[in-house]
């Protein structure tokens, strides 16, 4: 009887377990099929309320449990808690929801803004809320009482903004000016961004900002000649440049301009603590933008045809790295001690690429110094003001300074490449560091005693390699037997062929060099550079696709290297697309006599051993 009962219990239990498993599986499947969603009508995405409204609501639908949060975004500062909007509930269940909001009256002279964020599962919607200022508290200026009011160009995007009112985002009540600049700041700063009442992280000395801005203005006008003022040829004779200071801790530093008329910049406080090369860089952008504005003032019909207001894609698409390359150089005119900052590591990792390569746009600012040494410091401003679509800066320079001859351009660029071994250029040489001179080039063993350049170092058009070599005894004649390789040929056997993305992460693996989009007419420039008694010596340049260069080592030689630059028969601009696998590459191999790659040495296994004294 007991055995039978146990069997019955076991049978019943097994039936229950099967039912439970089946039910659980069914429930899990049903849960997985439910996608939690929020639906918000477009009319509910933005709410503009009067200053004295104390109630409002937001309607939405949710297919599951939801939560809501409210943040004050008036200032976008560190404290985002919202004290003027309260919700009766901050969570709820699925359904058609009408969520009430309780507001305080806004007795201030300034508007205020908040965001209501509603989340249901992975679905999220944001409602933007703006409560207007109390019109009885708003102050209004008379334009006649504002100094140089007519020197302010009001951007088209501000057309509906009454800047004379104290409640405007950009208001004449919160402005200061100098000879060539207006600075406006957001309401969160109050009347003075430098006041002790402003949190230290957001505090800005406006007088210092204006004084430094005037310094950078003089640099770009008087020294670099980015604009021709005093001749009614520039909008700068009519308007002052504009600076907009945002009340936020999030980094913001952008220089450009408004409506093809006037240069401007938008910054947050951390870029001004203290004012330095960052602001100089952004004002540099403002002057770059001013170039095309002034061209249009003088009859140019299309801003996109001048002043590098175009990319280097086949139809002018893509970014233009020269803006950053030059803004760096412009800023270093006032802060040369920053030349060898953290950007140097980026430079040394990418200098084999095209001069305009996007991955080193903040680090490839050296060529401008070479140009300035040859032609004067205003050469860069001239390249900007004389540029025309579809030219890149090298093409404009070639037209202006090389009789439009590509071979002359390549000769100059090779001269620049050799000087970069020690940064042997005016101004730059005064600040160079030993670390900056420690270049590397990846080379791999190839047949016949050659070394073949690695994929990761293969020079692009105008890019170059600096290959450190062993220094033999004085009087030794060293040779480099150079041989250009076919475009798209196989990599050396030991070359991993690692390709990278724009962030420096591994993107893939190549087994051959890039095919250059059919541009196969290769070319190079190469030769030796030595450091003798602390000074660079430049051996003769060779441009044969297969040739030998030699150099006799002088007494006092401390360093030796071979420089190789990509110089194809047909020059092409480099488009910005953050993909190195379609960059032009000009592979080669080289065999040395009398020297070897730095740190390498060979042993003659057939030689007789002998005693030496150390």
**Each residue's pLDDT tens digit, 313-323:** 999 999 999 99
Query: Is the Cβ–Cβ distance between 530 and 560 less than 8 Å?
Result: yes
Output the DSSP codes for 431-450. Answer: T--TGGG-----EEE-GGG-
Q: How many CB atoms lie within 10 A of CB 220?
A: 23
Segment holding 118, helix H or strand E: strand 112-120
| Tokens matching residue 231 | 């001749």
Residue 22 has pLDDT above 60, yes or no: no
Contacts of 11 (CB under 8 A, 6+ apart): none
Contacts of 492 (CB under 8 A, 6+ apart): 444, 445, 446, 452, 454
Query: For the domain 38-131, what is the CATH code?
Result: 2.60.40.10
User: Tens digit of pLDDT for each residue in 134-156?
Assistant: 988 899 999 999 999 999 999 99
Q: How are beta strands 477-484 and 464-469 bridged, if at all?
A: unpaired
- Spatial strand order of the sheet with 38-39 comes to 38-39, 55-62, 95-103, 85-86
Q: What angle do helix axes 379-386 and 322-332 make, rounded to 10 degrees?
A: 150
CB-count burial class (<10 Å; 0-12, 13-18, 19+) for 21: exposed
User: Tens digit of pLDDT for each residue in 48-86?
Assistant: 999 999 999 999 999 999 999 999 988 766 677 899 999
**Fold classification of 143-297 (topology level):** Glutaredoxin (3.40.30)
Average pLDDT of the residues of the chain: 93
User: Tens digit of pLDDT for each residue in 455-474?
Assistant: 999 999 999 999 999 999 99
**139 by DSSP, 3-state: which?**
coil
Residue 204 has pLDDT above 90, yes or no: yes
**Fold classification of 339-601 (topology level):** Jelly Rolls (2.60.120)
Contacts of 372 (CB under 8 A, 6+ apart): 379, 380, 426, 427
**pLDDT band at residue 21 under the 50/70/90 scheme:** very low
Domain ranges of the chain: 38-131, 143-297, 339-601
User: Tens digit of pLDDT for each residue in 507-521?
Assistant: 999 999 999 999 999
**pLDDT band at residue 243 under the 50/70/90 scheme:** very high
Q: What's the rounded Cα separation, in Å, for the pair 3 and 306?
A: 98
Higher pLDDT, 108 or 393: 393
The residue written with tokens 């860089």 in the block is: 281
User: Tens digit of pLDDT for each residue in 75-116?
Assistant: 766 677 899 999 989 999 999 999 999 999 998 888 999 999
Residue 454 has pLDDT above 90, yes or no: yes
Q: What's the rounded Cα separation, in Å, for the pair 588 and 567?
A: 12
Q: What's the rounded Cα separation, in Å, for the pair 278 and 467?
A: 34
pTM, two decimal places: 0.84
Residue 24 has pLDDT above 60, yes or no: no
Task: Kindly state the average pLDDT of the residues 270-280.
Answer: 98
Closest CA to 580 of 488, 507, 489: 507
**pLDDT band at residue 34 under the 50/70/90 scheme:** low
% residues pLDDT > 90 (the chain) = 87
Task: Kindly state the average pLDDT of the residues 225-229.
Answer: 98
Closest CA to 268 of 250, 241, 281: 250
**pLDDT band at residue 612 under the 50/70/90 scheme:** low
Task: Kindly state the average pLDDT of the residues 176-203.
Answer: 97
Q: What's the rounded Cα separation, in Å, for the pair 481 and 486?
A: 17
Task: Kindly state the average pLDDT of the residues 285-293.
Answer: 99
Q: Classify 497 in phi/psi space as left (phi over 0), alpha (psi -120 to 50) or beta.
A: left
């Amino acid at each position: 009887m007991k055995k039978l009962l146990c069997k019955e219990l076991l049978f019943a239990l097994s039936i229950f377990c099967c039912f439970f498993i089946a039910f659980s599986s069914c429930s899990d499947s049903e849960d997985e099929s439910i996608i939690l969603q929020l639906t918000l009508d477009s009319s509910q995405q933005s709410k503009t309320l009067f200053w004295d409204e104390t109630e409002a609501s937001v309607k939405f639908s949710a297919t599951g449990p939801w939560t809501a949060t409210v943040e004050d975004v008036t200032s976008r500062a560190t404290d985002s808690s919202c004290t003027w909007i309260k919700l009766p509930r901050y969570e709820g269940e699925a359904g058609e929801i009408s969520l009430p909001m309780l507001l305080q009256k806004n007795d201030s002279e300034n508007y205020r803004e908040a965001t209501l964020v509603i989340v249901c599962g992975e679905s999220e919607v944001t409602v933007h809320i703006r409560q207007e200022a109390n019109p009885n508290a708003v102050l209004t200026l008379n334009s006649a009482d504002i100094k140089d009011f007519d020197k302010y160009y009001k951007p088209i995007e501000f057309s509906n903004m009454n800047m004379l009112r104290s409640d405007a985002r950009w208001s004449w009540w919160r402005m200061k000016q100098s000879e060539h600049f207006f600075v406006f700041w957001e309401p969160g700063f109050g009347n003075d961004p430098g006041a002790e009442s402003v949190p230290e992280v957001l505090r800005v000395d406006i007088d210092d900002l204006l004084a430094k801005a005037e310094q950078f203005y003089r640099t770009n006008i008087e020294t670099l000649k980015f604009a021709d003022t005093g001749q009614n040829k520039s909008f700068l004779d009519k308007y002052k440049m504009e600076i907009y200071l945002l009340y936020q801790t999030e980094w913001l530093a952008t220089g450009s301009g408004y409506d093809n008329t006037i240069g401007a910049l938008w910054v947050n406080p951390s870029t001004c603590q203290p004012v330095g090369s960052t602001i100089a860089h952004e004002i540099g952008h403002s002057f770059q933008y001013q170039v095309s504005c002034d061209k249009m003032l003088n009859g140019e019909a299309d801003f996109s045809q001048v002043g590098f207001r175009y990319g280097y894609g086949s139809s002018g698409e893509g970014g233009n790295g020269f803006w950053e390359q030059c803004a760096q150089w412009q800023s270093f005119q006032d802060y040369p001690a920053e030349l060898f900052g953290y950007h140097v590591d980026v430079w040394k990792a990418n200098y084999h690429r095209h001069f305009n390569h996007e991955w080193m746009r903040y680090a490839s600012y050296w060529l401008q110094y070479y140009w300035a040494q040859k032609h004067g410091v205003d050469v860069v401003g001239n390249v900007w003001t004389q540029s025309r679509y579809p030219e890149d800066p090298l093409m404009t320079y070639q037209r202006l300074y090389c009789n439009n001859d590509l071979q002359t351009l390549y000769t100059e660029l090779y001269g620049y490449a050799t000087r970069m071994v020690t940064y042997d250029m005016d101004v730059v040489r005064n600040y160079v560091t030993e670390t900056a001179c420690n270049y590397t080039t990846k080379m791999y063993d190839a047949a016949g005693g050659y070394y073949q350049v690695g994929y990761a170092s293969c020079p692009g058009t105008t890019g170059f390699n600096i290959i450190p070599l062993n220094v033999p005894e004085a009087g030794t004649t060293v040779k480099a037997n150079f041989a250009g390789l076919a475009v798209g040929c196989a990599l050396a056997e030991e070359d991993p062929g690692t390709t990278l993305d724009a962030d420096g992460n591994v993107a893939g693996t190549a087994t051959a060099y890039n095919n250059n989009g059919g541009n196969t007419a290769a070319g190079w420039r190469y030769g030796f550079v030595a450091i003798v008694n602390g000074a660079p010596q430049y051996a003769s340049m060779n441009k044969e696709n297969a040739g030998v260069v030699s150099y006799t080592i002088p007494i006092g030689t401390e360093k030796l290297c071979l420089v190789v630059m990509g110089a194809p028969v047909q020059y092409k601009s480099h488009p910005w697309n953050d993909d190195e696998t379609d960059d032009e590459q000009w592979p080669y191999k080289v065999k040395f006599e009398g020297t070897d790659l730095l740190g390498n040495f060979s042993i003659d296994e057939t030689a007789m051993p002998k005693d030496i004294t150390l």
